[in-house]
Amino acid sequence: MNMLTHKLDLAPDVHDQDVMCIHTTLPAYLFVFRLNRLLGLSLSRSKEDLTLHSASYAFAVYEYESSVMQQSWRVVENRRTASHALDSGGLFAQLDQSAFLFPQLDRVDLLVCVTDLTTSIQKKIQQIAHVLSCYKLPKNQYKIKELLTF
């Protein structure tokens, strides 16, 4: 006689986490500071940045885990800009060059990953000064959700 057994998996599912795309003129650290003040969070810089295999760019990660609210937060830089000095005697002394963690999201500066995102939270984030747009990750880009779980 074979008994059917079921396994209960309590690990958080990738799909439980919502990802918001933020386009802003603020640097990541200033956006995180304002987000902390606005929502009473304590996001802090992770000890390890995300790096691309082919570039020398590192993308900052900020994290916060709230056992009381049963929420986890992560803010990940998607755009990194570096200035390079030019040797030519042209009009500009330096050139700014951008790199993207996810090149398909070339209009997104930051990715905010949060469990149990509410429309109220999304509206509050939209009200942060210098946030130009704030929207949920499009469904056709859900593969990015899997890459953001670490």
Using CA atoms, how far apart are residues 22 and 118, in angstroms rounded to an integer? 16
- Give the whole-angstrom CA distance, residue 129 versus residue 150: 30
Distance between CA atoms of residues 13 and 29, nearest Å: 28
pTM above 0.95, yes or no: no
Instruction: Say how far apart CA 83 and CA 96 lie, in whole Å.
Output: 4
Structure confidence at residue 28 as a pLDDT band (50, 70, 90): very high
pLDDT tens for each residue of 87-144 = 666 666 666 778 899 999 999 999 999 988 889 999 999 999 999 999 999 999 988 8
Domain 16-81+96-147: which CATH class? Answer: alpha beta
* pLDDT tens, position by position, 69-87: 788 999 999 998 876 666 6
| Count of other CB atoms within 10 angstroms of residue 20 | 21
